[in-house]
Amino acid sequence: MADTLPTLLLVDDEEHSLAAMRMALEDEFDILTALNAHEARRLMEEHFVQVVFCDQRMPGTTGVEFLTEVRESWPDTVRIIITGYTESSDMITAINEAGIYQLLTKPWHPDHLMMVAKNAADLFALAREHDRMSLEMRYLSRTVEVKLEEQRKALREGLGFDTVLRASNSPMNAVVEQARQFATFDVPVILTGEPGTGKRLLARAMHYSSLRSDKPYFEFDCSSVDDDILEVELFGARRGAVPGLAAHKMGLFQKADRSTLYLSGVADLSPRLQLLLLRAARDGAFRPLGGHEILHSQVRLLIGSDRELRTELERGKFNSELYYALCKVSLTIPPLRERPDDLAILAHTFLFEAADRHGKPVSGLSDDAIQFLAGYDWPGNMRELENEMVRMLIFSQDAILGPELISRHILQASPLPESETAVDQVLVSSGTLKDRVELIEMRILRETLTRLKWNKSRAANELGLSRVGLRAKIERYGLIEPKRHNASSKEEE
């Protein structure tokens, strides 16, 4: 008999909201919908519901009141509240008392909604499986129960591949699938990608999907670390081997025995450190600084590198034996500029995380803001995107963040029609001086108008143009004013 899909109950007094949620989730779940708490209560009695999404603001019974009833009658059902408002401390207290699994803010992104639903269904299944196994193992030792709880905690904290945010058609999907396969094989893996592409996140997910997931995960960045310090950190030291060291120091290779150690920056290691790492990687053998005995460790190494180690090998900068000891299999993580469909969900995730961290609630990014962000190359990858979201949050005044908050260099890198030359190449490209100057002029106009929310008076004044001259240039270059999200942001005449 084929496995049935998990059942979700969606409760909202607005039919269009129910339709939108159903459309986003129906491919992966059996969907039930209700327009009020009374109808939802009847559906709960008639169906085996694993997860409930409920809007807070509804006539009669509120979302928190209904989910409190669900907690009392169906305690295993995972409860999620949806709200489009900034909640008071009293509201947060009520949510906690109702045992709400997660608070989802409007407007939600379809990929984010799907991820929350999948995590909630996984939690329900995990809780059921945990209950079943607890009955079977009630006579087993306490050690087994502790290990089971640790695995459950790891999944709930999101340490697996679900933390790698991506769209359904993302190039990261193929990378994650490869990583899943590599995770269960106890071999070293090299992860190559530009800085900020998420190598550490992927390495951690591989550990928590491996047979070593019950052990602690360790990581260390070897970049720009002095050889003596690095040797002590990796392999340890005996008392007195280092000035001021009054006791033996355990190195990472000893701490991570039978676990996973993620090392980044190995391309910068000196020849001597490369030889020490070779012995540890190939034979599992190392000697603490100042010690005479050889220690052994069964460490699984995951290696992160911003540069291709094969290229460093060909240049004579990397030990060939070490390279082949480490490179059993490899993964290449694409930069953010090659993941355009992932940008919206990543930007919203970073924005909401920053909003939660700094206590400044927002509802999301406008479509125009996403369009401008998608036109930038992001040389700093996700770190740069995360920083930009924090910057936009700081300057934001409205719940929806518009393109006028985006940094000027990103606005100036906005996408051009395919028939036009990329602006970044104008100064070194061919073409007449007139054409190249006009291309730069259009770029400046678009950035200035966007930053000033299309206030033509201010833009004309800043650019030293008359209103008539500015309007002529706007028409000449075909620049179109985006739709405003707030009446107060209309152009001031």
Q: What is the pLDDT along the chain (493 residues), one digit of tens a residue?
A: 346 889 999 999 999 999 999 999 999 999 999 999 999 999 999 999 999 999 988 888 888 889 999 988 898 899 998 887 655 565 666 677 778 888 888 888 899 899 999 999 998 888 888 777 776 666 555 565 666 566 655 554 556 787 888 888 899 999 999 999 999 899 999 999 999 999 999 999 999 888 888 888 999 999 989 999 999 999 999 988 888 887 888 999 999 999 999 999 999 999 999 999 999 999 999 999 998 899 999 999 999 999 999 999 999 999 999 999 999 999 999 999 999 889 999 999 999 999 999 999 999 998 888 888 988 889 999 999 999 999 999 999 989 998 889 998 888 775 544 334 444 555 556 667 777 777 777 777 777 777 777 787 877 787 778 777 778 777 777 777 776 544 344 444 4
Residue 254 has φ and ψ, to the nearest 5°, of: -80, -40
Long-range contact pairs involving 341-345 (C-beta distance under 8 Å, separation at least 24): 341/167, 341/169, 341/170, 342/165, 342/166, 342/167, 342/170, 342/172, 343/370, 343/373, 343/374, 343/385, 344/109, 344/111, 344/167, 344/370, 344/374, 345/109, 345/111, 345/112, 345/165, 345/166, 345/167
User: In the numeric block, which tokens belong to residue 375?
Assistant: 């036109």
Q: Which two tokens stand for residue 167?
A: 């769209």
Identify the H or E element spanning 83.
strand 78-83
φ/ψ region of 316 (left if φ > 0, alpha if ψ in -120 to 50, else beta) reads: left
Rounded to the nearest 10 degrees, how much is the dihedral formed by the CA atoms of 96, 98, 103, 107?
A: -140
- Sign of the CA dihedral 425, 431, 437, 441? negative
- Is the pTM value of this prediction over 0.75? no
DSSP annotation of 413 reads: T
